[in-house]
Amino acid sequence: MKAVVCYGNGLVKHEEYETPQVKPGTVKVAVKAAGICGSDIPRAMENGAHSYPIVLGHEFAGIVEEVGQGVKSLQVGDHVAGVPLVPCHQCVDCLNGNYALCKNYSFIGSRQQGAFADYVVIPERNGFKISPKINFEQGALFEPSTVSLHALRLADYQPGGVVAILGGGTMGVFALQWTKILGAKKAVVFGRDKGHLGLSKRLGADAVISTLDEDFMERAQDITDGRGFDYVFEAAGAIQTMYYAFELAGNKSTICFIGTPKENLTFTPSLWENMNRKEFHMTGSWMSYSGDFPGSEWKMTNERFANGQLFFDPEMFYQTFEMKDAQEAFNLFKGNRKVKGRILLKN
């Protein structure tokens, strides 16, 4: 088969690769669409993978082509979205349904062969059967959708509040959609990129605010009549937006950090004191799993994509390439070139 093989430090080749073979309890998936996300970049460009050579790719969808002995929930021809986490299912965290916290896990496209290839072999439980109404591009977005929905769960999200989403990228637009689907009174997206803000508006944001505008904080306060937001979801992973979260949060509100910072955070006493004075709650969110693996986040994504409540827009992907042109796609991340969102690879 052909696969996109990463040798580290920006060296990516589309070449012949050994076709993986099914084993008992696994299925072979013919990959149709797979996304390059931000976590793939350090693996490919900064020698950040666990080993080399490696076939990356953890956000993917395809068709089951072969099933191994003992597989019961899937059959040849089923359309599936890939569930990248492979937890041990035996530790205390797994037994409590906290699969993302498993310390004995593997991960498709990071610790084992991923989906930037013609085929990938995965455990039966890691092939999530999707509705035939859902296209493969949507299937490749299941993982970011479920990550955003998982964040709402951890924030104990309740309907009727006013929500701020910091960052209009893939995670941000899914967080936006889930807050609206689940009953937000008003949802506002903050960002710097005009394209992202326009996409957020099309996908249902009640307002979009550019943080490049000098008066953006005043505009935000006007929306909430000076009370601040009931929920703040930080989806950019940028230092400045994490600071903004402390300012935008209202009294007794909840802040959830979906993004992860790449630099040290240093808080001034007055900024940090917001947490004391407003008595807001703060949590982080990691991946997307809950009881009955992979969890209700995956089931809800399947249901809402199928019934049209969860929207797909081609602009959720920055660009689309054929799998054979993956080197060109990864080259976009070299130097100071700004890639705004995920890149889609298609077979």
Task: Give pLDDT, residue 337.
Answer: 67
Percent of the chain with pLDDT over 90: 91
Identify any residues that bridge with 212 across adjacent strands, giving them in sequence order. Answer: none
281 token code pair: 């709650």
Is residue 150 one of the residues assigned to a domain?
no
**Cα 152–Cα 177–Cα 311 angle in degrees, nearest 5:** 140
Give the model's confidence band at 145: pLDDT under 50 very low, under 70 low, under 90 confident, else very high: very high
Whether residue 162 sits in one domain with residue 130:
no
The gap from C-alpha 161 to its chain's centroid, in whole angstroms, comes to: 24
Give the model's confidence band at 336: pLDDT under 50 very low, under 70 low, under 90 confident, else very high: low
Report the distance separating Cα 173 and Cα 176, nearest Å: 5
The predicted-structure confidence for 25-52, as pLDDT tens digits, reads as follows 999 999 999 999 988 988 988 878 888 9
Give the global pTM: 0.96
The predicted-structure confidence for 203-237, as pLDDT tens digits, reads as follows 999 999 999 999 999 999 999 999 999 999 999 99
β-pairing verdict for 119-123 and 162-166: unpaired
Whether residue 176 sits in one domain with residue 208:
yes
In this structure, the chain runs to a length of: 347
Is residue 151 one of the residues assigned to a domain?
no
Question: Where in the sequence is the domain holding 171, given as residue range(s)?
Answer: 156-284
Report the distance separating Cα 327 and Cα 330, nearest Å: 5
Packing angle between helix 142-154 and helix 170-181, nearest 10 degrees? 60
Give the model's confidence band at 341: pLDDT under 50 very low, under 70 low, under 90 confident, else very high: confident
Whether residue 116 sits in one domain with residue 33:
yes
Whether residue 117 sits in one domain with residue 42:
yes
Domain count, the chain: 2
- Across residues 50-55, what is the average pLDDT? 91
Whether residue 161 sits in one domain with residue 133:
no
Whether residue 316 sits in one domain with residue 192:
no
CATH at 324: 3.90.180.10
Is residue 240 one of the residues assigned to a domain?
yes
